[in-house]
Amino acid sequence: MNPVLAHWSASWPALIVYVALAGAHLTGLARLRPAGHAALREAAVFQAGLLVALLAFVSPVGYWSGTYIWVRALQDLALAIVAPGLIVLGAPWAALARCLGRELAAGEHPPWWLRQPVAVVVAFNVIWLAWHVPALFDQVPASVAAAVAEYLLYLGAGTWFWLQLIGSRPWSPASPPLRRAAMLVGTVVADTVLGMVLVFGSGVLYPAYQNAAHHVMTVVDDQQLAGAILWMGMLPPVIVAAVAVLIRWLGDEESAALSAGFDGLLAQRGSAWPSRPRFR
């Protein structure tokens, strides 16, 4: 059988969490009855994010991530970047709150954990880099507890990260667009350093992956391929987000300039003629 199709594991905890979240979201949507194609697109994007996270566990990616470092890199990107980004774009919060019997108003004040963008971005990068330190990286294939901790931290920190930078209805990011673009650039720089260490390293950084499966490619080759995947794989979503943030900033600047221009035109001008002297 094709090895790509052979190793689909029934990870019951992942399946239970997926069914619970997907069902709660669909139940909340049915109660909200959103109108318009935009709401349906958001719902589809959120469900796609949940599916990406699930496939990182139950598909061959989850199986081979304990054997090949480059497959582990794909899993890391899916759990920390792609799935959280889709979840945030899907804006499921009103539907999930409605399923729990709550209402989220459009102008509701964002919670405190959405008002600390710099701290959140720094925390995300620390978590991302820390789990690629050999002492922690090698623990995941051998320890279920370490694997669960990594997965939960990636999904939680990734969702928190994207909430600060792209926003998610009904909440808007606390930082101005240029600062958010700078934080995205800083994240790319941190990931680039990690990718370069793996790509250009000549020694084995992850000895736990020295297994019998590396009879075609060496562990160093595997490690270098993983570095290239981490390096290049983060660029597309981050570049798309940065471009969207800058377009939003330019649109806001243009709207502000246009509004100021109209205000100037509509403002009452004083007469250019000197006023007549008054006779007493």
pLDDT exceeds cutoff 50 at 257: no
Q: How large is the angle between the packed helices 37-58 and 12-32, nearest 10 degrees?
A: 170
Q: DSSP character for 214?
A: T
Q: What is the pLDDT of residues 121-143, one digit of tens each?
A: 999 999 999 999 999 999 999 89
Q: What is the pLDDT of residues 37-63, one digit of tens each?
A: 788 899 999 999 999 999 998 888 988
Lowest model confidence (mean pLDDT) among 9-13, 113-117, 194-198, 269-273: 269-273
- pLDDT of 280: 45
Confidence grade of residue 277 (pLDDT, cut at 50, 70, 90): low
Residues contacting residue 75 through CB under 8 Å, at least 6 positions apart:
56, 61, 62, 65
Structural contact between residues 163 and 117, judged by C-beta atoms closer than 8 angstroms = no
Confidence grade of residue 262 (pLDDT, cut at 50, 70, 90): very low
Whole-prediction pTM: 0.85
When pLDDT is averaged across residues 164-179 and rounded to a whole number, the result is 86
When pLDDT is averaged across residues 77-101 and rounded to a whole number, the result is 93
Of the candidates 75, 76, 67, the one whose C-alpha atom is nearest the C-alpha of residue 219 is 67
Q: What is the pLDDT of residues 195-216, one digit of tens each?
A: 999 999 889 999 999 988 887 7
Greater model confidence, 103 or 78: 78
When pLDDT is averaged across residues 101-110 and rounded to a whole number, the result is 71
What is the rounded CA–CA span in Å between residue 183 and residue 143?
33
When pLDDT is averaged across residues 156-167 and rounded to a whole number, the result is 93
Percent pLDDT > 70 in the chain is: 84
- The rounded mean pLDDT for the chain is 85
Structural contact between residues 87 and 46, judged by C-beta atoms closer than 8 angstroms = yes
